[in-house]
């Protein structure tokens, strides 16, 4: 860790990324709550999340952009555009401006698809190959730590003052992230123009994932794992209600256990990658996922808390090991499209599974769904 943080450019990147993550988590949560308050409709609140996911599905297109320009200036431009877009939320007064919230959520999804691909590619330039696991581990730990704290803060601020202060704070996080990106001095190689047909250019990331045997297997595993996580978005409410006989707000306690597991996973992932390699750590993540769903089956609070701890642990192991594997096995000029392709092929089944879970939970006992999710993992 000390060796990683000794470099000023890496410190600036990590600080800027941290600030951006906090702003992202705060706004996504706030906007869905805001829609619910404006409309009284749970479906409308869910639609706001769908618009975010819909924006994320532009990843194949944004990946091409990432590989055709230098990544740091692109991230600066995208942060500036996203900040200006978010600022338009200050004009929302009634449900008549609901369309503006949906537009911002879609735009945020597009911006996040672009910046996440650019971040993964920029790390290749800033961080020596031997330290990639550490860099990804730190990023994941920070991400999960912010998700543990941010929802509580946002809920309190929204209840006290409404959404506008959080919107302003998010705009400030964009400005701060830009400031730290401007301080990075490591030169980036000039992007190479493509002589390929636009369709081959667009699908290059997906083809690389498929042609590399280890990346292909990891991508297929990611599809199965993310399908399970998509189903869990609905099943978790049955675990709380039917299994533990608690009210929905009790989910916050379980989320805290998941966040703790994710932080532990983020802290230990880099060390495990050094000892075992990325492939085995991905395998550990899959095993932890299967355990997490299995131990949630009994109507026992301790068992469910352990299950949620393993959910968080598995997410960190899978994210850190997979990202490190992609960075080490992908040429720098292709990294944007490969990262975007991986995000796309895992986001789509997860989104479908979220919708499918809402239907299946009506007809299938939640314990049977948990068993099926464990098998998928």
Residue 129 has pLDDT above 80, yes or no: no
Residue 67 has pLDDT above 70, yes or no: yes
Give me the pLDDT at residue 248, please: 60
Residue with more model confidence, 235 or 313: 313
Contact 182, 76 (CB under 8 A): yes
Residue 107 has pLDDT above 80, yes or no: yes
Of all residues in the chain, what percent carry a pLDDT higher than 70?
90
Instruction: Measure the CA dihedral 339/344/346/352, to 10°.
Output: 170
Give me the pLDDT at residue 15, please: 85
Instruction: State the Cα–Cα distance between residues 342 and 346, nearest whole angstrom.
Output: 6
Give 249's contacts (C-beta < 8 A, 6+ positions apart).
Answer: none
Instruction: State the Cα–Cα distance between residues 122 and 75, nearest whole angstrom.
Output: 10
**Count of Cβ atoms closer than 10 Å to residue 270 Cβ:** 25
pLDDT confidence bin for 193, thresholds 50/70/90? low
Average pLDDT, the chain: 82
Give me the pLDDT at residue 180, please: 92
Judge if 1-188 and 204-377 fold alike in CATH terms: yes
Sequence-ordered strand ranges (E) for 83-171: none
Residue 211 has pLDDT above 60, yes or no: yes
Architecture of domain 1-188: Up-down Bundle (1.20)
CATH tag, 204-377: 1.20.1250.20
Domain layout of the chain by residue ranges:
1-188, 204-377
Residue 185 has pLDDT above 90, yes or no: no
Q: What is the mean pLDDT of residues 52-73?
A: 83
Residue 50 has pLDDT above 80, yes or no: no
Instruction: State the Cα–Cα distance between residues 37 and 60, nearest whole angstrom.
Output: 34
Of the given ranges (24-38, 99-113, 161-175), which has the lowest mean pLDDT? 24-38
**Count of Cβ atoms closer than 10 Å to residue 284 Cβ:** 18
Residue 80 has pLDDT above 90, yes or no: yes
Contact 353, 234 (CB under 8 A): no
pLDDT confidence bin for 2, thresholds 50/70/90? low
Residue with more model confidence, 26 or 73: 73
List the helix and strand counts (H, then E) for the chain. Answer: 15, 0
Residue 151 has pLDDT above 80, yes or no: no
Look at the chain and count its residues: 377
Residue 202 has pLDDT above 80, yes or no: no
Contact 115, 72 (CB under 8 A): no
Residue 58 has pLDDT above 80, yes or no: yes
Residue 159 has pLDDT above 60, yes or no: yes
**128 HSE (CA, 13 A, CB side):** 8
Token representation of residue 86: 């978010």
Contact 262, 144 (CB under 8 A): yes
Instruction: State the Cα–Cα distance between residues 263 and 257, nearest whole angstrom.
Output: 10
Residue 249 has pLDDT above 60, yes or no: no
Q: What is the mean pLDDT of residues 348-371?
A: 80
Give 345's contacts (C-beta < 8 A, 6+ positions apart).
Answer: 206, 209, 219, 222, 223
Instruction: State the Cα–Cα distance between residues 58 and 51, nearest whole angstrom.
Output: 12
Q: What is the mean pLDDT of residues 356-372?
A: 81
- Please state, in angstroms and as integers, the Cα–Cα distance from residue 134 to each residue in 72, 118, 137, following that order: 21, 18, 5
Instruction: Measure the CA dihedral 16/21/24/25, to 10°.
Output: -150
């Amino acid at each position: 860790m000390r060796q990683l943080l000794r470099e000023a450019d890496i410190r600036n990147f990590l600080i800027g990324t941290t600030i951006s993550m906090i702003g992202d988590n705060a706004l996504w949560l706030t906007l869905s709550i805001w829609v619910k308050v404006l409309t009284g409709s749970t479906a409308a609140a869910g639609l706001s999340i769908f618009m975010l996911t819909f924006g994320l599905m532009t990843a194949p297109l944004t990946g091409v952009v990432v590989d055709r320009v230098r990544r740091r200036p692109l991230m600066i431009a995208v942060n500036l555009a996203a900040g200006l877009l978010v600022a338009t939320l200050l004009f929302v007064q009634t449900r008549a401006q609901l369309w503006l919230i949906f537009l911002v959520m879609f735009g945020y999804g597009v911006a996040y698809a672009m910046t996440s691909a650019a971040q993964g590619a920029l790390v290749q330039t800033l961080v020596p190959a031997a330290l990639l696991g550490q860099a990804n581990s730190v990023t994941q730990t920070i991400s999960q730590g912010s998700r543990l704290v941010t929802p509580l803060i946002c809920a309190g601020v929204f209840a006290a003052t409404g959404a506008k202060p959080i919107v302003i704070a998010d705009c400030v996080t964009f400005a701060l992230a830009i400031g730290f990106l401007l301080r990075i001095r490591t030169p980036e190689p000039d992007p190479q123009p493509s002589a390929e047909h636009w369709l081959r250019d667009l699908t290059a990331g997906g083809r690389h994932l498929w042609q590399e045997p280890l990346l292909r297997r990891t991508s297929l595993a990611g599809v199965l794992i993310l399908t399970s996580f998509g189903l869990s978005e609905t099943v978790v409410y049955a675990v709380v209600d039917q299994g533990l006989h608690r009210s929905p707000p009790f989910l916050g306690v379980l989320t805290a256990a998941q966040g703790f597991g994710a932080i532990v996973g983020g802290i230990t992932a880099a060390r495990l990658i050094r000892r075992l390699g990325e492939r085995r750590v991905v395998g550990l993540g899959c095993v932890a996922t299967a355990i997490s769903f299995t131990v949630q089956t009994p109507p026992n609070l301790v068992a469910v808390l352990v299950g949620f701890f393993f959910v968080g642990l598995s997410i960190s192991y899978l994210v850190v090991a997979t990202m490190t594997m992609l960075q080490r096995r992908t040429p720098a000029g292709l990294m944007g499209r490969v990262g975007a392709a991986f995000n796309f092929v895992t986001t789509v089944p997860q989104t479908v599974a979220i919708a499918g879970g809402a239907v299946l939970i009506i007809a299938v006992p939640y314990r049977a769904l948990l068993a099926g999710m464990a098998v998928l993992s």
